[in-house]
Chains A and B, each alone.
Chain A
Amino acid sequence: MISIEVNGEKRTFKGFPFKRLIDVLRQDFGLMGTKEGCGEGECGACTVLVNGEPVNSCLIPVCQVEGTRIETVESLGRPASPNVLQKAFLEKGGSQCGICTPGMLMTAWAWVRGGGSDKPQAIRNVLAGNLCRCTGYQHIVNAVVQAVRDRKKIIRNPKSTIQNRKSK
């Protein structure tokens, strides 16, 4: 039996220990937010956080994550209460077809939450393992820049609200 913490909940898995983590998340735990793009660790669509670090869930057998803490896109905000990063993606046009978005968000979330810089070149570097074919990336970079800044504002002043930003 393999025990994992998934999005803050204790979960156990009893099947084939070399089942890919992405399949366990989607098929056994019903977390369909994590997407498969290439199945070989190139596109990053399946990125989840393992103990806070972005990892391609298509490359990891589930036995390798025994005892770890896993976060998927479902751990972020919901449509009525998006988190600072999801909001920024929405406002800045960071998601088009949306298939790369869950993985993109998880890599970016590790950066934003970890207090990463708002320098576009640093953000490009950290997201380089996530492919997107729609956006040409710039709107994603803009979104992460905004999220880094907004999160810093919230940490400095927890009462500040970024709810009512006007779209231009």
Chain B
Amino acid sequence: MVSVGKNVPRKEGPQKLCGLAKYIDDYDFKDCLYGVTFRSSIPHGLIKKISFDSDFPWQEYVIATAQDIPGPNVVALIENDQPLLADKKILHPMEPILLVSHPILQKAYAALEHIRVDYEELPAVLTLEESLSLEQVLYPPDNVFKKFQIQKGNVEAGFAQADFIVEGEYRVPHQEQTYIENNGVAAYVENGTIVVMGSMQCPYYVHKALKHIFNVPDEKLRIIQTTTGGGFGGKEEYPNMIAGHAALLALKSGRPVKMIYDRQEDMAATTKRHPAWIKHRTGVTKEGKLVAQEIEVVMDGGAYVTLSPVVLSRGTLHATGPYECPNVRVVSKTAATNTPPNGAFRGFGAPQTLFAAELHWEKIAEAVGLDSLTLRRLNVFKEGSQTATGQILGESVGASEVLERAVTRSRYISKRKEYSLWNRDKKKESWRGMGLALVHHGAGFTGSGEVYLASRAGVAFTNKGQVKVLAASTEIGQGTISMFAQIVADSLGIPYEWVVVVDPDTGQVPNSGPTVASRTCMVVGGLIQKATLQLKQELSRHISKKSSWSQEDLKEAARKMIPPPAGEAELAPSRRSAGGGMMEGQPEKKYIVEYEKPKEIQWDDKTYKGDAYAVYSYACAVVDLEVDKLTYEVKIHKITTAQDIGKAIHPLLAEGQIMGGTAQAVGYALYENVVMKNGVMQNAQLTNYIIPTFMDTPPMDIEIVEKPYSHGPFGAKGVGELPMDVPAPAIAAAIHHATGLWIPELPILPEKIFKVFFSSPLVGEGRVRGT
């Protein structure tokens, strides 16, 4: 009967494998219009005039502009600075200005050629350098959306004790989420309620944004997630925008409106990972002990604030890597540019700063004359270690364990020696390298985030004795549905197959918060487990004690617990009604639990001190690769990784998360190159934005380490983002081992290796093949 820890069949698997799962583009709506977006062609300026070709049949079209927006023209998120439709000012290329709809999709697109906007162009701020120079102020007073500072000990005193001070500068680029299903929604109005269906991670984010835009009460909005073809953060905040657009057209036309982006529009107009610069200055003793870390982080936020402050926060909090240092200062900021806003992408700031932190160890190792593995072993977080924010790591600290497991499994030490010998042989056609990185990743929202969210989730017990999971957390491929059902089944002691998970629909489920931040299993799964235990307690009063309950037992209990639906049946303690309050179907009793902070967690937002995250997951990756001496192509032989995630509720799904995240990080490190010109992505196509294929993705050897966390369901922590953090610095370290070159900038394309190679003194040492 136990399902946790077993690879039970994923609930929605058969539908997906038979082509029956319905994504938004698979829904048919009667009398539907197709909506398309007219976007700005300039990065910065003022809209002077909008004109429509007079000989075009506009009577066939429904057009919406900023003037049609009932409420404030704002996509509500952290700051309310981003308009739903630009009406005066343009702050980035691809900014939406007008919406056009027509019953035939091709005709809707054709109309965009017949609209002209006259602009007064202003000088554009396209790079971080330009933003920080303050020649143009986009975001008063200093173009800075957000700043943070972490301070521990006395950094100057720390440097005074150091035998070595090692400096390094690192740069990481944009990265496109590249879910295979583009952003898309459909909207319609039904009995005065605006309904939006679509591909999204966070139905209640859309609910909040649309409530603002349309100035309507909660129950006049219903947001339904449809089967979602990947998210990776790219469907965290952007659906607010596209849902607002489709709903505006639906409201104006009185007809259902479908808006599905094509690949080019999706890549060029929607969010990407924040590019960043990171500077490290590190003090170490000759024994290899860290005594001071000084780190500066600057991220490119794009044109509007969107989620940049929280991305920066997570990046800042992970900037030191998983090591204890008595004296730390981290200063960080995110600045405005006239480029499309950057946003959520798996890892959320941490892959950026951890790339720098981990590759920096190779530099420190060279300076100190010890290898980076020894240095990591000396400084790594252990139980009782104190982080840069002063958090004492009390439990579930698997950093050393993942490090040792990955080192052993990959034969890191012996292969490194072997490859060093190989590299001395000038006749070999490649250089070979072994690289290692170690990271931590905080599970759940940062700092007080979970307290502010006050997520609610639970279970319902129907009068037919069925158990249903109620949460707004979405299945986006990672396994939410199956994992929730396992937690409920085992907490109640019933088979996994009996548990039903209700679709995320704000009319049906409470707000369990967004599906982000590696929080779904640990935080929301934890709430669901608590709610299930409440149900179990009540069931125990109605069913005699047995080792397991039958379906008959549950039906019997349901008859006692839930009165028949005569008139106004009291359907008690759903403490507050869910979302839109449109509960449908059979009578049921709900058990909804709200998040409560474990009392030992303390965080101060003002000083940035305390427990930044409830707990951390840990990962170590070892990369085994070779670099061709003629073409400079990198071929990864294998990635070995050990990851401490507390408990794998479903080992196969957890492994799927680790492998998928690792592959995305391989792309980040080696292939994915967003080319920006005048603020627009030039390679917004899968033809020339290269994500890893079957041939580019190496075989992976994975070990899941389980150091249980007492507040996680069955000991589980987060797994979603962790695997994205660790491979890129390990790849760069392996390339360094192979070639001796420093390439502190991603992606490490062959031409970049070539360039660094030919400008390095190594050429003189005869490391070019054949010389």
> Could you tell me which A residues sit within 8 Å of B by CB distance?
26, 31-40, 42-43, 45, 72-74, 76-79, 82, 86, 89-93, 95-102, 105, 120, 123-125, 127-141, 167-168
Contact = CB atoms under 8 A, between A and B. Distances in A.
A164 to B, nearest CB: 13
Contact of B660 (A92, A101, A123, A134): A134
B178 A133 contact: yes
Contacts, number: 175
CB-CB nearest 8 A-B residue pairs: A33-B19, A97-B477, A99-B229, A98-B16, A136-B659, A136-B663, A96-B477, A73-B19
A45 B652 contact: no
Contact of A124 (B19, B477, B694): B694
A136 B7 contact: no
Contacts of A138: 659, 697, 699-700
B694 A36 contact: no
A26 B691 CA distance: 27
Contact of B263 (A39, A93, A120): A39
B760 to A, nearest CB: 33
User: Chain B at the A interface: mostly helix, strand, loop or mixed?
Assistant: loop
Given A40-B263, A133-B664, A168-B7, A120 B699 contact: yes
30 contacts: A32-B19, A40-B263, A42-B687, A43-B686, A45-B180, A76-B18, A79-B18, A82-B14, A86-B18, A93-B652, A93-B655, A97-B180, A97-B476, A98-B229, A100-B180, A100-B229, A123-B694, A131-B686, A133-B179, A136-B656, A136-B659, A137-B697, A139-B652, A139-B656, A139-B659, A140-B694, A141-B694, A167-B6, A167-B8, A168-B6
A42 B685 contact: yes
B228 interface: yes
A100 B181 CA distance: 8
A141 B699 CA distance: 10
Contacts of B180: 35, 37, 43, 45, 97, 99-100, 131-133
Nearest to A103: B180
Interface in B271-302: none
B761 interface: no
B18 A78 contact: yes
A106 B510 CA distance: 39
B218 interface: no
A82 B686 contact: no
B7 A128 contact: no
A97 B229 contact: yes
Nearest to A106: B19
Interface in B646-700: 652-653, 655-656, 658-664, 685-687, 691, 693-695, 697, 699-700
A134 B655 CA distance: 11
Contacts of B476: 97
A43 B182 CA distance: 12
Contacts of B22: 32
B8 A97 contact: no
Contact of B663 (A73, A74, A86, A137): A137
A137 B21 CA distance: 21
Given A72-B19, A79-B15, A90-B17, A133 B230 contact: yes
B229 A35 contact: yes
Contacts of B31: none
Contacts of B653: 93
B230 A89 contact: no
Contacts of B230: 96-97, 99, 133-134
A55 to B, nearest CB: 17
A136 B686 contact: no
B13 interface: yes
B145 interface: no
Contacts of A99: 23, 179-181, 229-230
B332 interface: no
A140 B659 CA distance: 11
Highest count of chain B CB atoms <10 Å: which of A32, A73, A133: A133
A40 B229 contact: no
